[in-house]
Structure 1
Amino acid sequence: MTKLKKFLLSAALSAGVAATGAAQAQDRVFFGIATGGTGGTYYPLGGMLAQVISNNAELEGKKLSATAETGNASVANAGLLGRGSIESAFVAADILDAAYHGRNQFEGKAITNLRALGALYPETVQLVAQPGLETFADLAEHTVSSGSPGSGQWQLLGDLLAAHGMSRDDIGEDYSSFSQSAEKLKDGNLDASLITAGSPTASITELANGHDINIIPLSGAPIAKLQETQPYYASAVLPAGTYNGVDHDVNTIAVRAIWATHADLPEDIAYAVTKALYENTETLGKVHVKGKEISVETALQSVSIPLHPGAERYFREKGIIE
C-alpha cells in the first residue's frame, strides 16, 4: 500500500471514529443533580440517584446519563436552578418555598422558575456539641458553626437564637461546612455545630466514633414559637443509638428535602427521572437509611411550589394526583 493510500485510509478511519463519537453524543442526554458537601446526606444519595437514573430512565431514542455534583446545599442549589446552571438539585422545603415566593434571604429576589419533581426524606436538625453543653441556653459565649452566611443553616440558627431570646452577639459564630465543623469539634476548636441533614449523617458518625459528643435537644416553648413562623419544621426524634455515645432519644425538629428543577427542563426528561426515582426507592435504601423513607406516597409532602408538568404527569398516572 502506498503512503498516500495509508494516509487516506487512516484519515477515513479517524473521521469514522469521530462521526461515531458525535452520533453517540447526540444520542446521549446529560442530567446533573446538585447535592451538598461530602459530609452530609445529599451527596451519597445524589450519587446513587444518578446511577438509578442512568440505569433506569427511558427516553425515546436517547440515553439519559445522570451525574451528581457536590454543592453548597439548599440556598446555593436554588440559585443554580434559577440560573439554569444545572438540571436538578436537592433543596430543603423551607428554603425552596422562600426562594420561590421571595421571602427571608430571598426577599426581593424571588426565583419563580423553580419547579418541584417530588419530596425526598425528612432532614433532621442536629445541634452537635461538646460534652457539658446540655441546653440551647448553654451555647451563650461559646463558638457555634452555622454554615455560610445566607445559607439555610445560617437562617435557622438566627431563628433559633431569636426563639430562645438570644442573638448572634451572644455566641461566637463560625461559618464552617459540615465536614469542617466535625474536624474543629474533634480538635476542640469549636463548641457546637448546627447540622441539618438526613440522620445518621456521615460527618457526625465519624466524629462520634472517636470523640465524645452531645446532641442538644430542640423542643419546648421556644421551638413551638419557631414552628408558628416556620411551619415546615416538624417535631422529630433522633433515636437513641443513632450515634456512638448518644444512648437516649433526642427531641428535635426536621424539614423535608425536595428534589427540584427549573421550568425549562423538557417534560419528557422530568417525567423519566421522576419515574426512575420513585420506582427504584429500594436501591436508594441500600445506600443510606434515609433512602428507605422516600416513597411515591409521600412524594408531595411539603411541596409548596408548582410541580414540573413532567412530574405531575407521572403522579397522575400513579393516582397520587386526581
Structure 2
Amino acid sequence: MKIRLKTFLTSAVVAAGMLAGVAHAEERVFFGIATGGTGGTYYPLGGMLAQVLSNNTALDGKKLSATAETGNASVANAGLLGRGAIESAFVAADVLDAAYAGKNQFEGKAIKNLRALGALYPETVQLVAQPGLKKFEDLKGLSVSSGSPGSGQWQLLGDLLDAYGMKREDVKEDYSSFSQSVEKIKDGNLDASLITAGSPTASVVELSNGHDINIIPLSGPAIKKLQETQPYYATTVLKAGTYKGVDKDVETLAVRAIWATHADLPEDIAYAVTKALYENVDTLAKVHVKGKEISLETALQSVSIPLHPGAERYFREKGIIK
C-alpha cells in the first residue's frame, strides 16, 4: 500500500514591497485509525490516540497527521486492513485471530497480511439480561441479541452456546444493534443481549438507571473449556456498582482490543506509532477511562497474529520481547 502523503504550501511576503513570496513546503504523512460507531469506545479512544500520534510522531522531517475514522468495528475493520484501505484499525482479539486464520466468519477468506501493533484495553463481555435470569442455561428458548450474522458478537454467542452444550437453535437469535437491544430489553421485547465493550458501557448505564437488569456470570467448567481452545478469551470481573442494581462482583470474560495494521505499512512508521502510543499512555489515561488500562506490560496480551516488524523492534528495545 502506498502511504498517503500530502504537501502543504504556504507563501509569505518576506519584506514590504517584494513582488514574490517564498514558498515553504511541508510534507505530511497521513495515518488513519479505523474505529467503530460514535456511541462506542473505539471512536472516542481512537480520536485521543490520533491526537497523541500527531503530537508525538515525526518521520524524517515529515509530520504525521493521524485521524480516527468511524467504522463498523472489528469484522469490517479487519477487511479494511486486508484491502490496504487504511493504515491501522482497532480489532477485537477474537475477530483478529479468526480473520488471520480463516476460521469462523472468515472461513475460506483468511487475511494473511494482518499484523499487530499491540494490545489496547480489555473489552468486557456483558451478558445483560432481564431480572430473574441468573445463569447462561436459563436462556434456552429465550430471545438473545448478538448483532448481525458474521459479526464478532454473533461468533461469540456461538462459542458460548457450544461451550454450554447448546446450539443456535436453542435460543431465539435477535440481530439488533447494541442500542436497539437496550431499547428492546427496556420495552420487554428481548430477554438478553451480549454487549462486549469497555465497561461501564454508556448504553447499559442508561438502561440500568431506568430498568432492572441482571448481568449473567460467565464462569465455571464450561468457560474453562472454552479458554483451552480459544485463549484470547480472558477472565475478568465486572465490579459491583458498575451498574445500578449490580450489587455483587460478576465473573465474566474479556476480549482485548488490538491495534492492528497490515504487512505493507513501512517499518519506520509502525515503529514510530507504536512507540508514540506506549510512551504516552499517561496522556491517554487522563482523557479516557480505558486509557488507564493500556500499558506496555500488557502490550502483547491476547495477540495471536504476527507482530509488525516495526512494533516488534520497539518491544525488543523495551525488553518486552527477549
Using the size of structure 2 for normalisation, the TM-score is 0.88
Asked whether the 8 Å contact 2:231–2:302 carries over to 1, the reply is: no
Amino acid at match of 1:271: Y
**How far apart, in 1, do the equivalents of 2:205 and 2:128 lie?**
11
**How far apart, in 1, do the equivalents of 2:93 and 2:277 lie?**
18
**How far apart, in 2, do the equivalents of 1:147 and 1:159 lie?**
14
Amino acid at match of 1:114: L
User: Secondary structure in 1 aligned to 2:189?
Assistant: coil
Q: How many residues align?
A: 303
Using the size of structure 1 for normalisation, the TM-score is 0.88
Q: Which residue of 2 aligns with 1:52?
A: 52
Asked whether the 8 Å contact 1:124–1:254 carries over to 2, the reply is: yes
Q: Which residue of 1 aligns with 2:6?
A: none
Amino acid at match of 2:39: G
Percent of aligned positions that are identical = 84
User: Secondary structure in 2 aligned to 1:209?
Assistant: helix
Asked whether the 8 Å contact 1:37–1:178 carries over to 2, the reply is: no
User: Secondary structure in 1 aligned to 2:55?
Assistant: helix
Give the ranges of 4+ consecutive aligned residues of structure 1 lying more than 4 Å apart after TM superposition: none
Q: Which residue of 1 aligns with 2:262?
A: 262
**How far apart, in 2, do the equivalents of 1:208 and 1:284 lie?**
28
The offset of 1:189, in angstroms, is 2.7
User: Could you say which structure has the higher strand fraction?
Assistant: 2
User: Could you say which structure has the higher helix fraction?
Assistant: 1
The offset of 1:186, in angstroms, is 2.4
274-283 or 130-139: bigger deviation: 130-139
**How far apart, in 1, do the equivalents of 2:176 and 2:267 lie?**
38
Matched, 1:142 2:142: yes
Q: Which residue of 1 aligns with 2:105?
A: 105
Cα 1:178–1:283 change in 2 (3 A) is farther
- Point out where structure 1 has 5 or more consecutive residues left out of the alignment: 1-15
Cα 1:133–1:205 change in 2 (3 A) is same
Asked whether the 8 Å contact 1:44–1:287 carries over to 2, the reply is: no
Deviations 1:94-133 (A, max 9, x none): 2212211222222221111111101112221110112222
Cα 1:70–1:185 change in 2 (3 A) is farther
Q: Which residue of 1 aligns with 2:243?
A: 243
Q: RMSD of the TM alignment (CA)?
A: 2.0
- Point out where structure 2 has 5 or more consecutive residues left out of the alignment: 1-19
Amino acid at match of 1:75: V
Amino acid at match of 2:231: P
**How far apart, in 2, do the equivalents of 1:302 and 1:63 lie?**
32
Cα 1:286–1:75 change in 2 (3 A) is same
Amino acid at match of 1:60: D
Cα 1:29–1:180 change in 2 (3 A) is farther
Q: Which residue of 2 aligns with 1:234?
A: 234
